[in-house]
Amino acid sequence: MPFARLAEATTPTAHIGLGLAAVGRPGYITLGREADLPPSRSVEALRERALELLDAAYALGVRYVDAARSYGRSEEFLADWLASRPDIDDVVVGSKWGYTYTADWRTDAAAHEVKDHSVTAYDRQRAETAALLGERLDLYQIHSVTPGSPALTDKELHARLADLAAEGVTVGLSVSGPEQAAAIRAALDVTVGGERLFRTVQATYNALETSAGPALAEAHDAGLTVLVKEGMANGRLAGEHAPAALRAVAERTGLGCDAVALALVLRRPWAGVVLSGAATSVQLVSNLHAAAVDLDEADLERVEALAEEPAAYWATRAALPWH
């Protein structure tokens, strides 16, 4: 299924994807993981949880799944699920390269991932992804590009990525940090043979971090599909961690804070796919209620007033512990 078909999906949940960052490895920075995951967090326990989530997501209409080389065994778990469901051919599969997982299945590792956007890293990780996902890969993204990343200027890397695109795989990038907008705009200028290289962009956007909005609108207008990650700010917009204003809107709607937070993002005309980072099926179902949330102008004003300065938001994110 070509990645571009996602933009034409019409069912409500087709515009919500499932990200596997929370269940592909034992440690991550999302709040509440200590209660969300099995106590042992063994490889098999998380494999079982990932397959359970993928089954539930598909049954509920989700058709995009997002993995990464640095999400522990996420690609492996996804490959296992795809192999066990040979009749499913309408799932769009995306993954990312540029970070190497280094925690060795520990939650207390000194470093959980190491960033490298070199051609050498691409060649190695592309081969690793191909060994697991093969022809099922629809989208391959550079992971967490910032304005100073060599991925924006390395012509040899661009040529490699253009070759991948010629094979039928959509080439995209994700961005992160307080200068997401600058990275997005720089990516729009990257061309190979006169053609724009990147066809998708994935960025953090939520009620607390809205700074990338104008640049994402520009990317959408330029023909890129926009994917939104961290719509719940790594758990800061969910449950007991949610700000009072968000809890008040959720109470009025009768739905969860998570659904309201994701609904705000879904309302953006440039948002093609909004990712759920659910770690349980209950969370996934609650996230998917975002498609049914009806926010009035007063609700929007209360939620939009929560926006923080980008530097403050990213400093808070960097301080979140790996659970």
Residue 56, token pair as written in the block: 């539930």
- Taking the C-alpha atoms of residue 223 and residue 210, their distance in angstroms, rounded to an integer, is 21
Q: What is the pLDDT of residue 1?
A: 40
pTM of the entire predicted model: 0.96
CA distances from 42 to 49, 73, 103 (A): 11, 11, 14
Q: Which of 11-15, 77-81, 177-181, 315-319 has the lowest mean pLDDT?
A: 11-15
Q: Which of 8-17, 131-140, 198-207, 228-237 has the lowest mean pLDDT?
A: 8-17
**214-244 pLDDT, tens digit each:** 999 999 999 999 999 999 999 999 999 999 9
Say how far residue 99 (Cα) sits from the centre of its chain. Answer: 14
**68-113 pLDDT, tens digit each:** 999 999 999 999 999 999 999 999 999 999 999 999 999 899 899 9
The backbone torsions φ and ψ at residue 72, rounded to the nearest 5 degrees and listed phi first, read 60, -115
